Chains A and B, each alone.
Chain A
Amino acid sequence: MSIARVQWPDRIAAGEVVKVRLLIQHPMDTGYLQDLTGKLVPRNVIRQLTCTLGGQEVLRVQPSSGIAANPFFEFHLRAMQTADFRAEWTDDRGVQGVLTQTMAVA
């Protein structure tokens, strides 16, 4: 199960460029590390992360094992009107995660 959080300023004016912080709970297993019994932990990283705002794609990230566990991404986007922000991601096991939150623009 994945848990994610997204954060942006409380007050957003129309046309403003806002900073968005996205944190996803995910182990991001590299595939190089061993567990306590000496067995290699198979690779399980988020392969693709797509963020949309009001149906329009605003960010696409292809992470690798080089991204730390519980990946954190900070980016900017221009908010024109109140719209639904949606983040979707898929990992190596095919597990998909979705986070939706409404971005209120004053």
Chain B
Amino acid sequence: MSVKGQSRRQGVIRLLLMGLPWSLRPAQAQRMNSGQLLSFEAMVQPLVKGAPLRAQDVRLHAPILAENGSLVPVQVQVNSPMTAQEHVTHVHLLSQRNPVTQMAVFELGPWNGRAEISTRVRLAGTQELVALARLSNGEFRYARMEIIVTESACVDAS
């Protein structure tokens, strides 16, 4: 019995060791500087260009922990009456670590009735997400959120 148990334990250890090179390989395979994290200013200033920016009126919903970075559901809600005078014109989804910082831009208008969008994004590792909304008066509102990603989108082909 004990012999059997030991051999099983050894088998498990051997399996773990076999898996080790696999877990190390993808990181070497990707040739991109996804290791660096952009500062918040570097993420938003190319879009904001000095316009008023406030951390209010925007809500960003996403899982705190994403098991797979290839598919992370994200929802952005902007508190806006969406009238012809006062509405949201753009919603930018920004990533801190992805090789492409701006993941998507949504152009909205008063015809949408509600400034609320959802999509599914790819994340190259644990990072901060920023939802940046441009209002019709030229001001910007944002929300930021830290998402822990256990498996990066840049290693899996799916």
* Interface mask (A58-77 → B, CB under 8 Å = 1, otherwise 0): 11111111111101111111
The CA of A53 and the CA of B112, in the complex, are separated in Å by 11
Give the interface size bracket for A toward B. 20 to 34
B117 touches A73 (CB 8 A): yes
**Which among B103, B108, B109 is the interface contact of A64 at CB below 8 angstroms?**
B103
B112 touches A59 (CB 8 A): yes
B120 touches A61 (CB 8 A): no
The CA of A65 and the CA of B158, in the complex, are separated in Å by 13
A69-B70, A76-B113, A78-B112 given as contacts; is B104 within 8 A of A64 (CB)? yes
Residues of A with C-beta under 8 A to B105: 61-62
Is residue B144 within 8 Å, beta carbon to beta carbon, of the partner chain? no
Q: Could you list which residues of chain A lie within 8 angstroms of chain B, going by C-beta atoms?
A: 17, 30, 32-35, 41, 53, 56-69, 71-78
Q: What are 11 inter-chain pairs, A to B, with CB distance below 8 A?
A: A32-B30, A33-B157, A34-B29, A57-B109, A61-B104, A66-B98, A66-B122, A68-B71, A75-B112, A78-B112, A78-B113
